[in-house]
Amino acid sequence: MTASPTDDSTTAGSTSPAPPMIVMKNVQKHFGDLHVLRDIDLEVPAGQVVVVLGPSGSGKSTLCRTINRLEPVDSGVIEVEGRALPDEGRDLARLRADVGMVFQSFNLFAHKTILENVTLAPMKVRKKSKADANARALELLDRVGIASQKDKYPAQLSGGQQQRVAIARSLAMDPKIMLFDEPTSALDPEMVNEVLDVMVSLAKEGMTMLVVTHEMGFARKAADRVIFMADGAIVEDSDPESFFSQPESERARDFLGKIL
């Protein structure tokens, strides 16, 4: 071997390497006396798909919500693409635009058409013209298989269709990260796959994703990494294959025994 550099960061040449998409360091969060996030350390590189597992109440939703600042933290550092999370103001709006989030409940605007649901934020926040916003929305609706429904209202669509619209609506902001919090939990079983298929294709295209889901099929197909939480802490952090075949902790074995 020739002389090896002592510091990996010097090997990439003169340009510094891209920062991780998400960084959390020593993050603590309480709700009153309840310690919901315990010293969370997490780094997610660009393009990685992380599935977050854990029993109900373990802090999975809170973890997601802190990343786009829907929930403030008590202490610690959260950075998105190398920038610390802003507290308020215009920077916060920009951050929220960069970090898309899809919830269990679809939260579409009931009195707006499907197309309007997707074009609203890009026009308001990204200042896109109506023509540009419409063109992009139709492209995204087509991609999630809903283009023919564009003039309908949310209540006229099935749950699976509404959730696909919610995904298209998030994507219309050109987010750098997509957070999914149990996106298929409220759906009838026959509609789960149509939503997961959209998420799998997004994962394959290189989107950075943090996905809270109990859908093991998705985890096996699309996850690069599985994080298992219990009582507000990250208890395991490994690749899906090792996690499912040889979980290290009693908590994870117990959890897997219940859901598999």
* Chain positions contacting ligand ADP, by CB under 6 A: 31, 34, 36, 54, 56-62
36 interface partner picked from ligand ADP, Mg ion, none, CB below 5 to 8 A per type: ligand ADP
The binder of Mg ion chosen from 23, 27, 44, 61 (CB under 5 A): 61
Q: Which helix (H) or strand (E) holds 154?
A: none
Q: Tell me: does residue 66 bind Mg ion (CB under 5 A).
A: no
SS3 (DSSP) at 255: helix
Q: Which stretch binds Mg ion (CB under 5 A): 53-61, 170-178, 188-196, 217-225?
A: 53-61
54 interface partner picked from Mg ion, ligand ADP, none, CB below 5 to 8 A per type: ligand ADP
* CB-side neighbour CA atoms (13 Å) of 202: 30
- CA torsion 206-204-252-68 (nearest 10°) is 40
Contacts of 39 (CB under 8 A, 6+ apart): 26, 27, 28, 76, 233
The CB-of-101 to Mg ion minimum distance in angstroms stands at: 12
Nearer residue to ligand ADP within complex by CB, 36 or 73: 36
The token duo for 137 is: 């929305």
What are the CA-CA distances from residue 19 to residues 14, 53, 68, 98 (Å)? 15, 25, 17, 15
Nearer residue to Mg ion within complex by CB, 61 or 170: 61
What span, in angstroms and rounded, lies between the C-alpha atoms of 106 and 164? 9
The CB-of-94 to ligand ADP minimum distance in angstroms stands at: 25
Nearer residue to Mg ion within complex by CB, 36 or 207: 36
117 interface partner picked from ligand ADP, Mg ion, none, CB below 5 to 8 A per type: none
Q: Which stretch binds Mg ion (CB under 5 A): 19-27, 55-63, 234-242, 248-256?
A: 55-63
The CB-of-160 to Mg ion minimum distance in angstroms stands at: 20
The phi and psi torsions of 38 (rounded to 5 degrees) equal: -110, 100
Cβ atoms within 10 Å of 174's Cβ, excluding its own:
13
Nearer residue to ligand ADP within complex by CB, 72 or 206: 72
**Binding site residues, Mg ion, CB under 5 A:** 60-61
